Amino acid sequence: MSVNLPRLSAACLALLALYAVYQLVTPVVHADMASTSRPDNHGNVRVLNAKQGQVLYVTLSLPGNPLSVVGHFHNRRIPFFGTGEEGQFAALLGIDMADEPNTLGLKAEVSYADSMRQRVIAVSVAPEVFREQRMTLPKDKVEPDAASLERIAMEREKVQAVFAAFTPKRLWSEPFLVPVEGTITGAFGSKRILNGQSRNQHNGEDIAAALGTPVKATNDGIVKMVDDHFFSGKGVILDHGLGLYTMYFHLDTTAVKEGDHVERGQVIGTVGKSGRATGPHLHWGAWLNGSRVNPFSLTTLPLEKARH
Ligand SMILES: [Zn+2]
């Protein structure tokens, strides 16, 4: 298939121009984000610049006391919450690590008592540079037998069931913490080649630390899963509400049980090398409304307005 690049970029520019015009003729839309942005002369941001695997903090200032705001990005539902400031709503928007680099709209449906309006924010997704990691592991950890494959399928189903249950309330109000002190390996999104065979992109970040180092909850939430997985070892999944989950794997011990409410900074387990791990480290993952995102992106969000 041949691709006409000039035509593609012309289409891109036309789309951007369309959004610029749309925003000029509609009420002011403020949008804040963690990293770069392009404000116009009035300080309003028209295009949010993002990278694969990033989390953005998006805010909308809306007139007339809307009842609720729900966004749509790709086929994902993005719930907004009131920040406590009059007319201001915010959302965490996840860019999946495999989202195609492109510019597309975050469409926010704004519900009033007697009407519905739509706001569109352009989001420009740039590619992230992911590493390639080659590793040699014992054969039974790369090519599991039939019984192990059955176990792996069941574990996956259970995790998917956890993600499918949506808590319609934001459970956190403070900034997100890094769960363990250690060496960040930069493994998020890396393309892994195990014993010469290609595997899925690595869906979390690894932090190397001594065996037994305490692992803390990144923020307030509810324990939705405590389990021992074939590949990921002992793990905990926390639900922070509004479709955000964080995962902590390869633990040596766990210190919480399913259903527990945990506070930001509470110790939930210790660093280990359970499952398929070559040394003690924490596998830290985050799942946000259908997107696999880099959990470190949560720790740099400008959340001062969300603390109410
Ligand atoms: Zn990992």
Structure tokens at 236: 């905990």
pLDDT at residue 306, as a whole number: 59
Ligand 1 center from residue 202 Cα (angstroms):
6
Where exactly does CATH 2.70.70.10 map onto the chain? 132-300
For ligand 1, the distance from its centroid to the CA atom of residue 33, given in whole angstroms, is 27
Q: Tell me, in angstroms, the distance from the centre of ligand 1 to residue 303's CA.
A: 27
CA-to-CA distance for 237 and 282, rounded, in angstroms?
Answer: 13
* Phi–psi pair at 153, nearest 5 degrees: -65, -40
- Cα-to-centroid distance, 274 and ligand 1 (Å): 12
Q: Is the dihedral of CA 96, 97, 100, 101 positive or negative?
A: positive
Beta-carbon contacts of residue 128 (< 8 Å; ≥ 6 apart)? 51, 52, 53, 54, 97, 189
- Identify the segments of the chain with pLDDT beneath 70: 1-46, 305-308
Asked if the 5-127 domain carries CATH number 3.90.1150.10, the reply is no
Instruction: For residue 170, give the 3-state DSSP assignment.
Output: coil
Domain 132-300 sits in CATH at 2.70.70.10
The whole-number pLDDT of residue 19 equals 40
Ion ligand 1 — residues with CB < 5 Å: 204, 206, 283
How much distance in Å is there from the Cα of 42 to the middle of ligand 1? Answer: 43
Instruction: For the chain, give every residue range classified as CATH 2.60.40.10.
Output: 5-127
Report the separation in Å between the CA atom of 106 and the middle of ligand 1, taken as the mean of its atom positions: 30
Distance 159 CA to ligand 1 centre (A): 16
In whole angstroms, give the CA distance from residue 18 to residue 82.
28
Q: What is the pTM of this model?
A: 0.84
In this prediction, residue 36 carries a pLDDT of 39
In a 10 Å sphere around its CB, with 0-12 CB exposed, 13-18 middle and 19+ buried, how is residue 192 labelled? middle
